[in-house]
A and B are shown apart, each in its own frame.
Chain A
Amino acid sequence: MSNSNFTRRGVLKSGAVAGAGVALPTIFTASSAAAYTNEPMGSSVTLGFNVPQSGPYADEGADELRAYQLAVEHLNGEGDGGMMNTFSSKALQGNGILGKKVEYVTGDTQTKSDAARASAKSMIEKDGAVMITGGSSSGVAIAVQGLCQEAGVIFMAGLTHSNDTTGKDKKANGFRHFFNAYMSGAALAPVLAARYGSDRKAYHLTADYTWGWTQEESIVASTEALGWETVNTVKTPLAATDFSSYITPVLQTDADVLVLNHYGGNMVNSLTNAVQFGLREKQVNGRNFEIVVPLFSRLMARGAGENIKGILGSTNWHWSLTDEGSQAFVKSFGTKYGFPPSQAAHTVYCQTLLYADACERAGTFNPCGVVEALEGFEFDGLGNGKTTYRADDHQCFKDVLVVRGKENPTSEFDLLEVVEVTPVEQVTYDPNHPMFAGGNLGACNEGA
């Protein structure tokens, strides 16, 4: 492989433009001037922010972009520094990354694997991005992670909750800060058992695609371990908008808990429908019927309005946390944009900082150096307490929040309240756990 697979546009942006004025037109073939894909040669480094800007998750994508812009400001020493001040690692100086000014390009994943890969490829081939990050669904995250592995750039996943991202489909060049379906189950089940009793009968409605399945599997396993019984698990089409025909059969069973393994618009609609059919007022054997939404998103919860009140779920982070890091981030984000950040915004901000910090500590942008710096990295001060990037699967291990829809919100953002912070030990699993088996991290790829 004498020619580079991907362009080294970074070289040209500064080098060639400066030289263009004096030099006669010269033609040279690509030599291996760059040590790795898109090695930044000039005074700046380009990051690729690949988020959904159209389709159902566009609002989450927009919030992610806001957080990215904030992170870039902070890295370049503008603004109030946000969580850089509370981050336990002090390698970042506020002068960009390794002295290079941080620039970025953005793209639209459309929440489709194909479009997301096309967008990421254009960032790598055209814009010389040395790291790709973002996304709001697991299918996209896995597809783009695979691409980054092949291309030899780092992928810092955004919002992706499927077990597969750091399980069956894990890649050496990919890292996930967000929690996963297993962790949701492990954190949620004890709270459910404590509040609703350990002899409940659960009925699952599950979005019929891979994320839905992994979440269903995780929740079923963790609740059954505590004595619950699973009455039925029913798959619903992704394209479904009216869930009435899936909700009414629940009435005919003796189930007393409904678990909605849905996300986004699916979640809003299925929850709204379930409430319409009076499931919240229903009594089964003298006990209240309960609805559970294992993965909460505050942005989406707004669409469900007051139906969300009192419903339990889990989340990666919430702006009402009172630790120093969270408060610094909320202040910084809220001052700039006028509303609190979402969990998607938080996770991508952390990912950007973690990447930058790893480059600083490694002293290079070389993906293999970054991977080495991130593997087993322990840090604090980014809003989730003490956190570890596990070397075995590149998954972050941290506390998980169990939340509940707030009964008396003081504002349109004040929708969730933290019920319990589940300690990290309780959600940690073995890297070879059956739900995560079958994957192979492989070796880091530096491309070029």
Chain B
Amino acid sequence: MLGLNKKDTRFLLIVIALTLLTPIILQPFPEGSSLAQFNAGYPDLMQRFAIFGIFAIGFNILFGLTGYLSFGHAAFLGVGSYTVVWMYKLLDYNVIWGLPLAIITSGLFALLIGFVSLRRSGIYFSILTLAFAQMSYNLAYSVLTPITNGETGLQVYTDDVQILMGANEPQSPHFFGIVMRENFWVADIGAWEFTFNNGYYFSAVIAILAFYLSLRIFRSPFGLMLRAIKTNQTRLNYTGLNARPYTLAAFVISGMYAGLAGGLLAAMDPLAGAERMQWTASGEVVLMTILGGLGTMMGPVLGAGFIKYFENIFSKINEQVLRQWFGFLPDGLEGAVVWVAEYFVGSGWHLTSGLLFMLVVIFLPGGLVEGGQKLAGLFKRGKSDEDIDDPEHQPKQSPHVAE
């Protein structure tokens, strides 16, 4: 189906099902229970999962397949966001103008940076991309403020031209009248509440398309060529092939994914902050990819979800919440437990994520995906390793890549 073999089709269908059911899956605890703190099924976070998933999928096409480690992909994220917000300011709030343009501008930007940076390889390439991105960030924060609105972030003002603005048009981002921030259904089932948000499903559909496209790239002769570059570029050169056009194409494609993700961020929330271009943002997508499982299909998405979950859920657990949880303990013990726990939650959420990076990379060299496979392996005792389904299609193990 859709040019995929049976295994891939099944894989894609599972991904589609998981994506569409996210508002339910991420809301496992009833409202008002003390564990409701861990629910992640609210629109903003679900949107971020989908969007950073797209960002990481695209990054994986470059890093996972070719092995070229870009430390400047946040620049494309920022360019995508700025493009979309500028379209709001000039035309109107319909995202149909901004999003395609975001892909185009970030693609052009990526072409320029990629063309220069790909003249070098290894760490020299990484530093070149880093340098371009840091220049973009530093300038966006200061000198380019007329274009980027600097520190505050680019936003729409009531006196902006918005030449296409209709009389009854919604005053926030929408797709032909479907307003992104509205929920089309809030289901209360017993004590559970599930929020079905327009913006999330808009991003989710795009994420599924992006995932499908990336799956096709992984399986295509082009994808095979990219892997050959990773394996041994010198040998490839000896066969008379010039690798550069292929890597450049991969760089531009992943830049366009990043631009799309950036555009979607602005489509969900009409503000584009300069921090989106900072090296920490570039580093974040690198971490997402490695954490989830470099070169796997599902890994980067998992990594993205993992990091965003910690950032948004763990940072909100404060002393008051801890006292509620551990209130049943005797006073002295409660104090001690809360004192220890405070290192890891609230303002200590960075510490927890740092520790988890280390634990994952020490014990699961293949990232979270490998953890999943190990878990799956436990349930399928008796089967030998070769029999275990490989839904993640680790490139090293895929015998069917050339189909």
Residues on A lying within 8 angstroms of B by beta carbon are: 1, 3-7, 9, 12-14, 16-17, 20, 23, 25-30, 53-54, 58, 61-62, 65, 69, 104-108, 112-115, 117-119, 121-122, 125-126, 137-139, 142-143, 146-147, 150, 164, 169, 208-211, 235, 237-239, 438, 440, 442
Contacts and interface: CB of A to CB of B under 8 A. Distances in A.
A1 B168 CA distance: 12
B55 to A, nearest CB: 13
Contacts of B186: 3-4, 7, 29-30
B304 to A, nearest CB: 14
B179 interface: yes
A122 B316 contact: yes
B385 interface: no
Nearest to B158: A440
Nearest to B155: A146
A122 B191 contact: no
B220 interface: no
A112 B45 CA distance: 17
Interface in B339-363: 346-347, 349-350
A61 B346 CA distance: 12
Contact of B318 (A54, A106, A121, A438): A106
Contacts of A5: 179, 181-183
Give the 5 A-B residue pairs with the shortest CB-CB distance, closest first.
Answer: A53-B347, A139-B151, A113-B273, A20-B191, A17-B32
Interface string B18-54: 0000000000001110000001001111001000000
A139 B31 CA distance: 34
Contacts of B184: 3
Given A16-B32, A114-B271, 6 more contacts: A3-B183, A17-B32, A105-B318, A114-B273, A139-B153, A440-B158
Nearest to B268: A121
A118 B151 contact: no
A1 B182 contact: yes
6 contacts: A16-B31, A30-B186, A106-B318, A118-B44, A121-B269, A209-B142
Contacts of A28: 187-188
A125 B181 CA distance: 10
Interface in B114-143: 138, 141-143
A104 B193 CA distance: 21
Contact of A27 (B153, B159, B189, B191): B189
Interface in B147-193: 150-153, 155, 157-159, 172, 179, 181-191, 193
Given A53-B346, A107-B316, A209-B151, A112 B275 contact: yes
Given A108-B315, A114-B275, A210 B188 contact: no
B273 A27 contact: no
Contact of B158 (A4, A6, A442): A442
A13 B153 contact: no
Contacts of B320: 69, 104, 106
B269 A117 contact: yes
B289 interface: no
A115 B311 contact: yes
A143 B85 CA distance: 14
Contact of A108 (B145, B187, B273, B349): B349
- Which of A58, A108, A150, A164 has the most chain B CB atoms closer than 10 A to its own CB? A108
Given A7-B183, A12-B188, A146 B142 contact: no
A143 B271 contact: yes
A114 B276 contact: yes
Contacts of A4: 182-183, 186
Nearest to A27: B187
B156 to A, nearest CB: 9
Contacts of B269: 117, 121, 147
B373 interface: no
A440 B159 contact: yes
A209 B149 CA distance: 9
Interface string B268-289: 0101011110000000000000
B151 A7 contact: no
Nearest to B39: A126
B315 A107 contact: yes
B318 A209 contact: no
Contacts of A17: 30-32, 191
A121 B182 CA distance: 13
A131 B82 CA distance: 29
Nearest to A169: B152
B66 interface: no
Interface string B249-282: 0000000000000000100010101111000000
A437 to B, nearest CB: 12
A112 B42 CA distance: 21
A119 B318 contact: no
Contacts of B45: 118, 122, 126
A302 to B, nearest CB: 19
B83 interface: no
B31 A118 contact: no
A58 B32 CA distance: 30
- Which of B43, B316, B346, B350 has the most chain A CB atoms closer than 10 A to its own CB? B316
